[in-house]
Structure 1
Amino acid sequence: MKRFFLTSLLIIILAFPAFSYQELPGKGITVRPARATWDTGYFQEALIRRALETLGYNVKKPKELQNALFYKSVALGDVDYWANGWFPNHWGQTPKNFKKKAGIYGTVVKAGGLQGYLVSKSAVDKFNIKSLDDFKRPEVKKAFDANGDGKADLVACPPGWGCALVIDHHMKVYDLANDINLIKASYAASMAEAMARHQKGEPIFFYTWAPNWTIFKLKPGEDVMWINVPKIIPRSSQKGAEDRMTVSGVKGAVTDPLKAGFVVSDINIVANHKFMEKNPPIKAFFSVFSLPLEDINEQNTKMYEGEKSEQDIQRHVDQWIEKNKEKWNSWLEEARKAAK
């Protein structure tokens, strides 16, 4: 009996390290993430951080970096990854040697970096609005003229934003300067005013991007519709990416495909090559991790409404995992398999 007990104990002791290794393949390994400066990208970073911690990794607090600085830092190996790559938009912000040192290792949302113009669905139906060109029609301008200047009011981008340059380009090349009034004040304040008009049943016209709280509050296909630019005429900075300015399968678009007029990017996970080679479980996790755009929009809306502390974001992560346990556990299993 004693010999049997000792033999059984030895088997358990020998088996336990292997079990621990499989469950916690990241034990003893430190990971240095980064995240973008815009808070609409915080959620996916927090979910990935939670997953890596669950796998045993010691994950440092993420460094918040501007785009160009991140791509330089990840190429140098000063940080390991982030989940805020927007490609092809971000290629122009990467250093010359970037592809030799780092690359894309996962897609959070295919075509998630959508940008464009939206119009109240009721107005789209009433006036048969398909593109920006329809705002040259007198009856359309009148319907969207909130300040009485004879032009349709468009919630645009504040000066200094990249989208402001594209919108100004559209006003010029489509000859819309006399038809559309660009509201360039604080975007949040301008959208709050537009939301108030919408709640009164008045038509609204605005630019937005995804992920964003705007298209959670105003659902494309139900409250608003994405509309086209008349034809694709790229700015100099958009040349070479014309094929990404038209996109198919956009929910709530007036046509399929939609001529967005902006470069539509995928939201990607970007990581250092050497770091990934040393960490197959992380590579496996990145390859299967993805999020519905609607889930990011919903979380972004919670942040917009005031739930934006780190504790709030961690609670949002808890809630998402609880709702998606099967998917979450399958991702972790894929990562653990890669460690065997």
Structure 2
Amino acid sequence: MQRQLPFFFLLTLTTALGLNSCQNRSISEENKSNLPGEGVTVTPTYVSLEERFQTEVVNIGLEKLGYKIGKMRELEPALMHTDLAEGGLDYTAAHWQQLGRKFYENSGGDQKLEKVGVIVDNAVQGYLIDRATAQKYEITNLEQLQDPEIAKIFDTDGDGKANLVGCNAGWGCETIINHHLEAYDLNATVEHESGKYFALMADVMARYRQDKPILYYTWTPLWTSSVLVPGQDVQWLEVPYTSLPKTSTSSANLDTTYQGKNLGFVTDKIMILANETFAQSHPSAIALMEQVQIPIADVSAQNQRLREGEDSASDIRRHAQTWVKEHEERFQQWLDNAQSKSGEAETGRQGKPMMIND
């Protein structure tokens, strides 16, 4: 005969399970509402599509802390810094410490902006020419372009001057390139082509495929050095001596050498920059931003995927999600550390540890 459980026992068990279920649901709901970013929308900004990847990595962390990400804005450097300072934007993961110094100071500096952390270190800039031309004419230094015969090798429009593909008008690198041309007495023989950089680089790539001489400026991290590999396809040019505009860099660090060559540009740091009011109001967000670091090789590799066609917003978001998954343990530690800051200013409450897969 099948043994029957007493009715009182069944009633007690059912009631206990129901209470436990309600309690768990209550705890879950409470934990969800205890996230430090609950109810806060964050608006990020960047300069070029190639910087959206590192921005998305930060966004993923902010979302785990409860923040909602507003529409990201792609802006020119001067406007980006101004809008950040005025509070129309909250943060960027694309501030170059030295290259963007003028934009930072002109937007109010430390009074309105806060340098939070270095997200990409050892960013390099400089001038390159194709290796075949470098070897044929023994060109190693930008100063050699003072010679009209050498400069003419890189003439692409028939005016007798070398055509140097530079960077967009209004960018910090434009100022430095123009300064170099004057400081090294190159204005008479070299023309700085300043326009839409990636359109200009498409022409550089086409000339290279046709075995024609090329002369261009670039920076890292960027896909250009994956396609035209320094030391293999192209060669860095040295400058005769270091000369930089006073507004472009601080005098505290003028190390412009890379792999034993003086490239003329300070080895830079790409930083996360936040609006000062936002930074003071959201310590958990700032604590996360202080920690996020992405190897320069990872950014360059992602940029190459952009060039190969994976350049939609959803593509870049997927790239960032994959990077986070591949660095799960480190990312989780960043979240835990940031979560420990909750309550200092934004909510006054203790939140639960957020897991990457939540």
Sort the TM-score into its range (normalised by shorter chain): 0.7 to 0.9
Q: How does 1:92-107 map to 2 (within 5 A)?
A: 92-94=102-104, 98-107=109-118
User: Matched residues in 2 for 1:23 and 1:169: separation?
Assistant: 54
Are the structure 2 counterparts of residues 160 and 335 from structure 1 closer, same or farther at C-alpha, using a change threshold of 3 Å?
closer
User: Aligned to 1:220, what secondary structure does the other structure show?
Assistant: coil
State the 1:207 CA deviation: 1.0
Partner of 2:66: 56
Would the aligned equivalents of 1:242 and 1:263 in 2 still touch at CA under 8 Å?
no
Q: How does 1:19-34 map to 2 (within 5 A)?
A: 21=31, 25-26=35-36, 28-34=38-44
Partner of 2:201: 191
User: Aligned to 2:126, what secondary structure does the other structure show?
Assistant: strand
State the 1:104 CA deviation: 0.9
Partner of 2:255: 246
The one-character-per-residue Cα deviations of 1:9-42 (angstroms, maximum 9, x if unpaired) are: 6599379738974997346231322203422222
Letter in 2 for 1:301: Q
Would the aligned equivalents of 2:76 and 2:171 in 1 still touch at CA under 8 Å?
no
Residue of structure 2 aligned with 1:316, choices 307, 315, 319: 319
Letter in 2 for 1:116: G
Paired residue total = 332
User: Matched residues in 2 for 1:66 and 1:135: separation?
Assistant: 31
State the 1:195 CA deviation: 1.4
Are the structure 2 counterparts of residues 14 and 330 from structure 1 closer, same or farther at C-alpha, using a change threshold of 3 Å?
same
Would the aligned equivalents of 2:96 and 2:269 in 1 still touch at CA under 8 Å?
yes
Are the structure 2 counterparts of residues 157 and 281 from structure 1 closer, same or farther at C-alpha, using a change threshold of 3 Å?
closer
Letter in 1 for 2:336: E
User: Matched residues in 2 for 1:153 and 1:78: separation?
Assistant: 39
Q: How does 1:132-171 map to 2 (within 5 A)?
A: 132-136=142-146, 141=151, 144=154, 152-157=162-167, 162-171=172-181
User: Matched residues in 1 for 2:291 and 2:78: separation?
Assistant: 26
User: Matched residues in 2 for 1:52 and 1:173: separation?
Assistant: 45
Partner of 2:186: 176
**What are structure 2's unaligned runs of at least 5 residues?**
1-8, 343-349, 351-358
**What are structure 1's unaligned runs of at least 5 residues?**
none
Are the structure 2 counterparts of residues 76 and 161 from structure 1 closer, same or farther at C-alpha, using a change threshold of 3 Å?
closer
Partner of 1:286: 289
State the 1:60 CA deviation: 2.0
Q: How does 1:204-215 map to 2 (within 5 A)?
A: 204-215=214-225
User: Aligned to 1:270, what secondary structure does the other structure show?
Assistant: strand
User: Matched residues in 2 for 1:122 and 1:18: separation?
Assistant: 65
State the 1:243 CA deviation: 5.4
Partner of 1:295: 298
> Relative to structure 2, which stretch is displaced further, 264-273 or 100-109?
264-273
State the 1:109 CA deviation: 1.2
Are the structure 2 counterparts of residues 22 and 224 from structure 1 closer, same or farther at C-alpha, using a change threshold of 3 Å?
farther
Would the aligned equivalents of 1:24 and 1:55 in 2 still touch at CA under 8 Å?
no
User: Matched residues in 1 for 2:36 and 2:299: separation?
Assistant: 27
Would the aligned equivalents of 1:244 and 1:264 in 2 still touch at CA under 8 Å?
no
Name the TM-score, length of structure 1 as normaliser: 0.77
What is the root-mean-square deviation in Å for CA atoms of aligned residues? 3.8
The one-character-per-residue Cα deviations of 1:212-260 (angstroms, maximum 9, x if unpaired) are: 332232233433232221112333544x635555334x4xxxx52x433
- 2:116 is the counterpart of 1:109: no
User: Matched residues in 2 for 1:67 and 1:176: separation?
Assistant: 27
State the 1:76 CA deviation: 4.6
Letter in 1 for 2:256: V
Name the TM-score, length of structure 2 as normaliser: 0.74
- 2:343 is the counterpart of 1:332: no
Are the structure 2 counterparts of residues 24 and 55 from structure 1 closer, same or farther at C-alpha, using a change threshold of 3 Å?
farther
- 2:92 is the counterpart of 1:82: yes
Are the structure 2 counterparts of residues 3 and 311 from structure 1 closer, same or farther at C-alpha, using a change threshold of 3 Å?
closer
Partner of 2:239: 229
Are the structure 2 counterparts of residues 55 and 193 from structure 1 closer, same or farther at C-alpha, using a change threshold of 3 Å?
same
Partner of 1:268: 271
Would the aligned equivalents of 1:34 and 1:65 in 2 still touch at CA under 8 Å?
no
State the 1:199 CA deviation: 3.0
